[in-house]
Chains A and B, each alone.
Chain A
Amino acid sequence: MSWPRFLVKRVLALLVVLLVASLLVYGSLYLAPGGPLSFLVGTRSATPELIAQVTAQYHLNDPFLVRYFTWLADVLHGDLGRSLVYREAVSSLIASRFLTTLLLVVYATVLILLVGLGTGIWAALRRGVAGRVVTGWNAASLSTPAFVLGALLIVVFALGLGWFPVYGSGSGFGDRLWHLTLPAIALALSSAAYLSRISSASITSEMGKEHVETAMSRGLPRKLVVRRHVLRNASIPVITVVGLTIAGLVAGTVVVENVFALDGLGSLLVRAILQRDYAVVQAIVLLLTIVFVLVNLIVDVLYSLVDPRLSLDGDAL
């Protein structure tokens, strides 16, 4: 299969997933006890204006599929509806919080790559005590949920030692990074441990491969053998893990932002859920899904670039 066909096929599959996800997100509204109108109005006083607004916004008088496609068309035009709580366009609510979440994810990704790959490679090449220390550290990290770690980080480094601010996003780039350090660590640690474990295992298994013996038997410098034959080959499974991990971070921000009271998409989502602000919920959930699916697509493409043996016909599943 040629590259363009491969890409077209993958993008089509992605669109199908997004269509299904949007249908789920939209359709679930109709599963709400009492029907969509009473759900959307919720505990707010049901004034005729509010009912009219909700009915119009969600096209509640049209048949289901018509409503769904009208909504979808609106979304595709960038109209994500209006928040009933903030009385503001959802798109502008999201836009103002997007940067915090993005920064947090990027920061955590950098930490994961540095710490995860670093300790993984170190443990695999050194073995012995180093290997055991890293293994133990990874096991502990994997057992600690992000919100638990976040709470402990606050207790120790913000409240106890006073090195970092307890809550909030900060202002200005440097200050923002400073405020995001503990959240990024909380978000990154268990993923870094997972990456460390996978990369270490992958390197160790590659070190024992016959082709590495060949390379050693030819008197190539050990550093060259490690870089060219061990790390290169070991990176193939690692890339998948990195991709899945980053995709998973997007969901993880929901929890971490709430621990540190960061004003990002995740805390907006939780508040919207609690306040039954469904337009906001729909928009953010769709956004999370899009990012998740996109990252997975990128990983698939990278994967076929790194492993030349992989035919593009291969089913990714």
Chain B
Amino acid sequence: MIATLKLSARNLLRYRRRTLLTALLITLGVVALLLFVSTASTFRNVMVGSITDSMLGHLQIHRKGYTSAIDNLPLNLNLGAGALTKVDKILKAEPAIAAYSTRVKIGAMFSNFAETTSIRLNGVDPVAEDATVPALRKRILDGGQTGSLVEPGQVLIPQLIAKGMKVKVGDAIVLVVTNASGSVNAKNFTVRGVLDSVTGPGGRDGYINIQDARELLRMDKPEAMEIAIRLKDFDQLETVSARIQDRLNTEVLNKDDKPVTELHLWSDLSPFATIVKMIGLMTTFIRIMLISIVLVSVMNVMLMAVYERIREIGTLAAIGTRPGKIMGLFLGEGLLLGLAGAAAGIAISYGLVVLFHAWPINFTYGRNELSLVPELAASEVLIVLGMAVLVSALASLQPAWRAANMDPVTALRHV
């Protein structure tokens, strides 16, 4: 085996320029793929982090039917006190959860005493909300990002409303709501801050303290429409959500023993999930391109190698080399070519990633300055290496088979 590979390597070096050019093609393909994958995955992680940390959380629990009524926020979709207690117990028992925030969501009228407009509000516990979506306070444009997020009597209003209603921090406003029984209630608030808008559900919502929300809605018992959850490790999203979903489906039931709640991943709620899928699709296309580059270039070189060495193949067969060994010789050449090209590509990619760390790509998302520092995952590197080697071996298969099955007499006569 080692002897065969040694001879394969020597045969590759026989045509240095051709080997170098083919290996270079594979190298370029590997570099392009690894850089795209690492940059795209870092971009995805930054964007997902920005959305989940400033607004959605990683997971959300709602009463069944919430997503179809997401624009209206009907109060009959609130989770009652009994369900909330059970959910609370489940979440407290789950070790993978870092924090969770119970939200009362309200559709209200916003008045500056001169004009009125509609506003969507989240009634939140400031400490729990801060722990669940730590980047929310970074969206505060005016009013200061330090201190309590929102105290009773304060409101954080979206930028569009602040501009449209000509309201600034410290101004007094009135929020008017209709509660579940149909009666109207109002309360004075002071503008605590103005929030930057972000894409997605809740991206243009205001925030008040949960006590105020319950007071406005005249709730006798604590109810909530949404529970946002932050995990300790985002990579465990699928596992943890499945575990919580199982418990919700068996422990939080209505009178007919049917599950009361539905659990949503951030990706179920944010339109950015489509972009994430697109990135995945583009990665697949680029992978296919790499496979094609390796396949065509290695196959071309190996076919040339077989054609140019027909007489030599005849000699090897004549002196007793078994067809399997002749095949191994050519397979080895293709394999080494793929391995060398991929290894060089991986080394160059690591070098470029180091350069990106020194000079990161900066871009603006909303009001946030984000830095794109690509990371090369070891698993991705192994996949690319395996792919290049496997495809090289596959590309060499036909030429190698042809060499192994060549008629020795015809091969020896070849000029």
| Physical interaction between A and B | no
- The chain A residues found within 8 Å of chain B, CB to CB, are none
- The chain B residues found within 8 Å of chain A, CB to CB, are none
